[in-house]
Amino acid sequence: MKCKSYETFFVNFSNKSKLNIITALRNEPLNVKTITKKINEEQSAVSHNLKKLSACHVLDVKKAGKERIYSLNKDTVIPILRLVEKHVIKNCSGSCCKK
Amino acid sequence: MKCKSYETFFVNFSNKSKLNIITALRNEPLNVKTITKKINEEQSAVSHNLKKLSACHVLDVKKAGKERIYSLNKDTVIPILRLVEKHVIKNCSGSCCKK
DNA sequence: ATAACATAGGATTAAGAATTCATATGAAAT
DNA sequence: ATTTCATATGAATTCTTAATCCTATGTTAT
């Protein structure tokens, strides 16, 4: 599947676990264990998600010994999050986005 | 559920049907029947999706007789789509975002 | 008042995704 | 060479979501 259909990209932001990872990395690159502790989920689940996130270049990885350090692709992610923040402030002052 | 957790917002972009609706409305507001024809899906499925999209203010609705005219919230949606386009061009020249 | 049209909504089923568990890989330390 | 630690991967299960079907609501026209 190619990126030209954008749905795969957005899936990376459309559930809590993945969004937790993104949030955890907003300020600093982290290794898997630290992410796992920070968001309080199974290591295995985190790894599965990290794989998808980095397949889409939402995250970058680099190896450091036996660790892998994941970092946010800030060029794309930060501006998108900002837009959504703005959207929510403007449109969702009460509660919205109900399922 | 409140918008403060953004995953619900992003769900609106994370499958083909919803993204087709968004694309169909990129240039002009349309009524349900026209959207349905344009994206070639069941009227009922389209209505279900329209509800979610407008609950999140990704779309606006206005009534016109027996029709309902849906339009894109361009303030939010267009800039986000542009960012993703840019991201894809930069990062996904081959194929990426595989599931 | 009834018929025709446009759209919405509920309930069920089917499809897809996330979670979990068990195991594998690979790197550093002893 | 073996153990330990960090991470990844595959398979099975469990959830979640979307798709479908059927019916309801509301609007206009006759």
Instruction: Provide the CA B77 to C1' D28 distance, Å, integer.
Output: 34
Task: Report whether A2 contacts B97 (CB < 8 A).
Answer: yes
Name the average pLDDT for chain A: 91
CATH number for domain B7-91, candidates 3.40.50.10600, 3.40.50.300, 1.10.287.3510, 1.10.10.10: 1.10.10.10
Looking at beta carbons, which residues of chain B come within 8 Å of A84?
A: 6, 9-10, 76, 80
In chain B, residues with a C-beta closer than 8 Å to the C-beta of A52 are 99
Phi and psi angles of residue A63, each rounded to the nearest 5 degrees, phi first = -85, 140
Specify the pLDDT at position A95.
64
In tens digits, chain B (99 residues) has pLDDT values of 344 569 999 999 999 999 999 999 999 999 999 999 999 999 999 999 999 999 999 999 999 999 999 999 999 999 999 999 999 999 987 666 654
Residues counted in chain B = 99
Domain A9-73, second-level architecture: Orthogonal Bundle (1.10)
Instruction: Chain B: give the shortest CA distance to residue A5, in Å.
Output: 8
Q: What is the pLDDT of residue A77?
A: 98
Scan for tokens 């209505």, then name that residue: B47
Tell me if A73 sits within 8 A of A57, measured CB to CB.
yes
Q: Which nucleotides of D are covered by protein (CB under 7 A)?
A: 5-11, 17-23, 26-28
Euclidean distance between CA atoms A81 and A85, whole angstroms: 6
The pLDDT assigned to A1 comes to 33
Query: Where exactly are the structural domains of chain A?
Result: 9-73
In sequence order, the β-bridge partners of residue A96 are: none
